[in-house]
Chains A and B, each alone.
Chain A
């Protein structure tokens, strides 16, 4: 009964808005048109261009560009970089969010700012700092040569740079989420005798699963698509240290546009899948938030 009444109230409020607090139709439609024109110029047309350019020389050329050995090894390296850096930042994100959301300690806000730091740093600088440490003239340069390890212009450097640029994503998703959820459920589990790991696995992680997945998806998208930072540490060795975005650059600079756009279209497709998943997760978590709210109101 009460819900019917409140729904009705809501409905009336909406009707009221469209009368007293909305704009005439011609303004509304012009604003929509301007917004869509803006988004078309900067989003939709570039996106469409990727796929058109990729298929410009026909489907066979397209496939050929993707199965060529250098392209395959670039895909492989991109996947490796993501597969290593995503779990690293995932574990870090959970640990950081646990410490920050469940406890009070001095310097918490400083810590949060520091976690945000990689967002503010240019990707080029992210690559540079690892060159300074592990490069030939770097702190560990000689030691690495003596022991025959390669970091810069090799996979470890690419992974490090990727980890840096995707560093805050999971933590940034989880911290506000876990702060909002409070610690009562964890305390309840504790009183019932659960150990720390039991609390984490059985209570905390199930509660943050959507936020976690969201963070992972964003991390993965950025990890696979990173260009600037990886470009500095990779050395652009074809077939060896080229990730997909770097491969796109090389093909493009060789005026092999069709192949460049073919590989780019794979990345664009990945971006679209990311957005689709993201939208789905937002919808899911909004739904579960809504059911929680509804029942706590009655």
Chain B
């Protein structure tokens, strides 16, 4: 009888385990809804894009995504995104530094406005940048005499992509810089390091993961950007035409498979970037956790 009782208890507890593993209520409901909503809005539609490309043979797919005009657009999109992200890494770090370390009149306003590219619709940014960087614009007219054309050239693409990536580096570096202990810098100073040595050997290593994360975020955002670019780019095939625009052009010509093939290439690159960013953020949080101990 005893063993029977035990098996019975086992069955009961096992069943109970499955039911009562979580004590707070709402786990099944919230997770179920999360997964359902995620699937309906994001996963299934994205899956549709991958499924659509199976209508093409690999050769057709390859020809579509490596057509000269498409290749030129990759070069522009990734090249300009990379340059924009670099500009943001350097000036974003500088901006974060100035905002954290120094005081100057209007600092709080400047700090708040850094997020403008998050909040300002891209189309507005696009026409505003075009207006000032065009040959007759406030800044464009100053550059024109030196033969520098910004609007309607690849340089314009860089300007737009710098704009939309601007907050990322500032906002990832800023909190890390704020948490940096003054003591480590004082220690460096007491050991005889000058300011530049302290920056290079003490401060920069500490903010490096955050800086890289911000760089990657700005780059990822720029790669997919459309709205702010198309106004200022001029959109000349082979010269100033970005990849998202090619997708739109193909859609307007009802070439859905062609558009989707290029979209899939961009999606794969975006996923890789997302994973890289997650890795970077993990690294950065590990760093911080270690220094907190």
Q: Determine whether A and B are in direct contact in the complex, meaning some CB atoms lie less than 8 angstroms apart.
A: yes
How many cross-chain pairs have Cβ atoms below 8 Å apart between A and B? 287
Contacts A21-B182, A261-B127: A95 and B30 contacting too (C-beta < 8 A)? yes
CB-based nearest A residue for B229? A228
User: Chain B, 164-207, contact with A by CB distance < 8 Å: what is the 0/1 string?
Assistant: 00100000000000000010011001100001001000000000
> At the interface, is chain B mostly helix, strand, loop or mixed?
helix
A-contacting 9-mer, from B5-13, B34-42, B59-67, B68-76: B34-42
Q: Is the CB of A43 within 8 A of B119?
A: no
What residues of chain B lie closer than 8 Å to A46, measured between beta carbons? 125, 128-129, 132, 163
User: Chain B, 259-285, contact with A by CB distance < 8 Å: what is the 0/1 string?
Assistant: 110010011001101110010000000
Which residues A22-68 have CB closer than 8 A to chain B? Answer: 22-23, 28, 31-32, 34-36, 38-39, 41-47, 49-50, 53
From residue A207, how far is it (CB to closest CB) to chain B in Å? 14
Contacts A39-B114, A225-B121: A21 and B127 contacting too (C-beta < 8 A)? no
CA distance A252 to B97 in the complex (A): 38
B238 within 8 A of A: no
Of the listed residues B24, B33, B35, B273, the one surrounded by the most CB atoms of chain A closer than 10 A to its CB is B24
CA distance A267 to B166 in the complex (A): 19
Which residues A77-134 have CB closer than 8 A to chain B? Answer: 91-92, 95-96, 98-100, 102-103, 105, 111, 113-125, 128-133
Q: How big is the B interface, by class?
A: 35 or more
CA distance A43 to B106 in the complex (A): 15
Which residues B214-260 have CB closer than 8 A to chain A? Answer: 220-221, 223-227, 231, 244-245, 247-248, 251, 256, 259-260
Q: Is the CB of A221 within 8 A of B118?
A: yes
A20 within 8 A of B: yes
A142 within 8 A of B: no
Q: Is the CB of B27 within 8 A of A99?
A: yes
B138 within 8 A of A: yes
A196 within 8 A of B: yes
Q: Is the CB of A124 within 8 A of B224?
A: yes
Contacts A113-B274, A196-B26: A227 and B122 contacting too (C-beta < 8 A)? yes
User: Chain A, 210-228, contact with B by CB distance < 8 Å: what is the 0/1 string?
Assistant: 0000000010011011111
CA distance A184 to B62 in the complex (A): 55
CB-based nearest A residue for B246? A124
Q: Is the CB of A35 within 8 A of B95?
A: yes
B48 within 8 A of A: yes
Q: Is the CB of A120 within 8 A of B121?
A: no
CA distance A185 to B127 in the complex (A): 49
What residues of chain A lie closer than 8 Å to B22, measured between beta carbons? 103
What residues of chain B lie closer than 8 Å to A249, measured between beta carbons? 123, 231
Q: Is the CB of B124 within 8 A of A32?
A: no
Q: Is the CB of A129 within 8 A of B119?
A: no
CA distance A275 to B95 in the complex (A): 18
Q: Is the CB of B128 within 8 A of A245?
A: no
Of the listed residues A20, A23, A276, the one surrounded by the most CB atoms of chain B closer than 10 A to its CB is A20
From residue A288, how far is it (CB to closest CB) to chain B in Å? 18
A209 within 8 A of B: no
CA distance A138 to B137 in the complex (A): 44
A264 within 8 A of B: yes
Q: Is the CB of A225 within 8 A of B270?
A: no
CB-based nearest A residue for B122? A227
CA distance A114 to B45 in the complex (A): 13
Q: Is the CB of B124 within 8 A of A50?
A: yes
What residues of chain B lie closer than 8 Å to A105, measured between beta carbons? 27, 31
CA distance A38 to B162 in the complex (A): 11
From residue B146, how far is it (CB to closest CB) to chain A in Å? 16
A190 within 8 A of B: yes
What residues of chain B lie closer than 8 Å to A138, measured between beta carbons? 48
CA distance A164 to B186 in the complex (A): 48
What residues of chain B lie closer than 8 Å to A190, measured between beta carbons? 23-25
CA distance A243 to B246 in the complex (A): 22
What residues of chain B lie closer than 8 Å to A227, measured between beta carbons? 121-123, 226-227
Q: Is the CB of A132 within 8 A of B52?
A: yes
Which single member of A164, A195, A225, A231 contacts B248 (CB below 8 Å)? A231
B120 within 8 A of A: yes
A137 within 8 A of B: yes
What residues of chain A lie closer than 8 Å to B113, measured between beta carbons? 39, 43-44, 47, 275
What residues of chain B lie closer than 8 Å to A208, measured between beta carbons? none
B58 within 8 A of A: no
B83 within 8 A of A: no
What residues of chain A lie closer than 8 Å to B30, measured between beta carbons? 95-96, 98-99
Known contacts A228-B244, A275-B112, then 9 further A-B pairs from the complex at CB < 8 Å, ordered by chain A residue: A32-B104, A42-B163, A95-B30, A102-B27, A128-B49, A128-B259, A196-B24, A245-B123, A271-B116
Give 14 CB contacts A-B under 8 Å: A21-B189, A31-B94, A43-B114, A43-B116, A43-B166, A53-B131, A96-B34, A98-B30, A124-B247, A133-B44, A222-B118, A245-B124, A252-B231, A274-B119
Which residues of B come within 8 Å of A, CB atoms? Answer: 22-27, 29-31, 33-35, 37-38, 41-46, 48-49, 52, 91, 94-95, 97-99, 101-102, 104, 108, 110, 112-125, 127-129, 131-132, 137-139, 159, 162-163, 166, 182, 185-186, 189-190, 195, 198, 220-221, 223-227, 231, 244-245, 247-248, 251, 256, 259-260, 263, 266-267, 270-271, 273-275, 278
